[in-house]
Amino acid sequence: SAVISQKPSRDICQRGTSLTIQCQVDSQVTMMFWYRQQPGQSLTLIATANQGSEATYESGFVIDKFPISRPNLTFSTLTVSNMSPEDSSIYLCSVVRGVDREQFFGPGTRLTVL
């Protein structure tokens, strides 16, 4: 398995502000991802965080709104920019590890935007 921590665990933010979420993994991993779950919706992939290069975004997600950093193989940040109430979600980071290429998830950051 993988030990993944996220900061903050939750936050309440004002509309128009930005929040940076940190993800720390207990050992080096190649594949690292950011997901979100809006209320009543499925967990949805935002982007793949690439070490040493720009993140790869899924359809419907853009770098200006969700800038991602991946300075090394154990750490990544996701910023939710210029927030609106629609950004209220649980944000999770995820890594792939092991022979079976299982995906392991962090505990999530619960964001509420007022």
- Applying CB under 8 A, the residues found at the interface with another protein are 1, 4, 9, 31, 33, 40-45, 48, 58, 92, 96, 100-108, 110
CB 53: neighbour CB atoms within 10 A? 8
Chain position carrying tokens 């665990």: 9
Q: Which is nearer to another protein, 14 or 101 (CB)?
A: 101
Q: Which is nearer to another protein, 40 or 85 (CB)?
A: 40
Q: Which is nearer to another protein, 14 or 99 (CB)?
A: 99
SS3 24: strand
Q: Least distance in Å: CB of 61 to another protein?
A: 13
Q: Least distance in Å: CB of 58 to another protein?
A: 8
Q: Least distance in Å: CB of 112 to another protein?
A: 14
Joined together, the tokens standing for residue 22 give 């940190």
Joined together, the tokens standing for residue 93 give 């980071």
Distances (CA, A) of 29 to 17, 23, 49: 31, 12, 11
